[in-house]
Amino acid sequence: MTEPERRTALVTGASAGIGEVFAEHLAARGFDLVLTARRLDALRQVAERLQDEHGVGCRVIPADLGEPESPRRILYELARDEVDVDVLVNNAGYGLPDTLIETEWPTVQAFMEVMAVSWLHFIRLFAPPMLERGWGRIVNVASLAAFAPEPQGSLYSGVKSQMVTTSRGLRRQFLGTGVHCTAVCPGFTHSEFHARLGMPDIASRMPRWMWQSAEQVVDEGWRGCERNRPVVVTGVTNKLIRGLLAVVPTRIAEAMTPKSINDIRTRRAT
């Protein structure tokens, strides 16, 4: 009997939150891992734990995806060691605390590089070999925000909506090739995301039913990708909100949307 083929998953933003849980989920299914994010210490801790618990190979490549050459540098490092990527999880991401007008341009540029460019670059680099081999899985972690109005001056819903739309088109291009492409859209999820936006206690100020664990998001997202679903909005509550957003007139949806990230922070303080 021949050994079952070992496959490798590249997870971006694997040092915390949804990315770390994606790495764990895939390790538990026997995938070797390539983990990337900026924090080398955090990546090493995740890698050591997953190697010990699941006996998979785990390599870490620190990279700032705000730097345009990072995806290509990761490709070169893997190609040098003849590592093929079979699963690509484009997960790294964050929100900007201030509006476009209030934010220094280099900060906006780096945000757009991470959120709107780097994940396309990864697909451009890693999808062709998947297509040649006739097997691949691409998960793009977008957001429920993709379907919601943009808070005033913010850029987040826009980039996530681009991710969903582009992801759908890529999936259609790949149909019948063995390569799946799915946009996973979580709502509020426990992770480091909100603390980094300056809202460490937001989960305690909101109803529990609005929140999911990263494990719930990853479990549903990966199942959706295995079925080659174009879009997976995770959790019943988020599905209901998405359904509502599809029928409510835009001006009403806009009136229900927080004015800005700053608005949410200020409300907490009062």
Ligand X SMILES: NC(=O)c1ccc[n+]([C@@H]2O[C@H](COP(=O)([O-])OP(=O)(O)OC[C@H]3O[C@@H](n4cnc5c(N)ncnc54)[C@H](OP(=O)(O)O)[C@@H]3O)[C@@H](O)[C@H]2O)c1
User: Among 173, 195, 185, which residue's Cα sits nearest to residue 233?
Assistant: 185
Written as six digits, the tokens of 69 are: 């050459």
Q: Strand, coil or helix: what is 107?
A: helix
Smallest separation (angstroms) from ligand X to the CB of 242:
12
By CB under 6 A, residue 154 contacts ligand X = no
In the region spanning residues 175 to 214, those forming contacts with ligand X, defined by CB under 6 A, are 186, 188-189, 191-193, 196
130 DSSP 8-state letter: H
Q: Which residues pair with 32 in a beta bridge?
A: 8
By CB under 6 A, residue 74 contacts ligand X = no
By CB under 6 A, residue 16 contacts ligand X = yes
Q: Which listed range, 45-53, 64-72, 99-107, 250-258, lies at the site for ligand X (CB under 6 A)?
A: 64-72
Q: Strand, coil or helix: what is 40?
A: helix
By CB under 6 A, residue 92 contacts ligand X = yes
CA dist., res. 233 & res. 217, Å (int) = 9
Smallest separation (angstroms) from ligand X to the CB of 116:
11
User: Among 50, 241, 83, which residue's Cα sits nearest to residue 147?
Assistant: 241
Among 64, 77, 98, 215, which residue sits at the site for ligand X (rule: CB under 6 A)? 64
Q: Which residues are identified as catalytic?
A: 156
Rule CB under 6 A: which residues touch ligand X?
13-19, 37-39, 42, 64-66, 91-94, 114, 141, 143, 186, 188-189, 191-193, 196
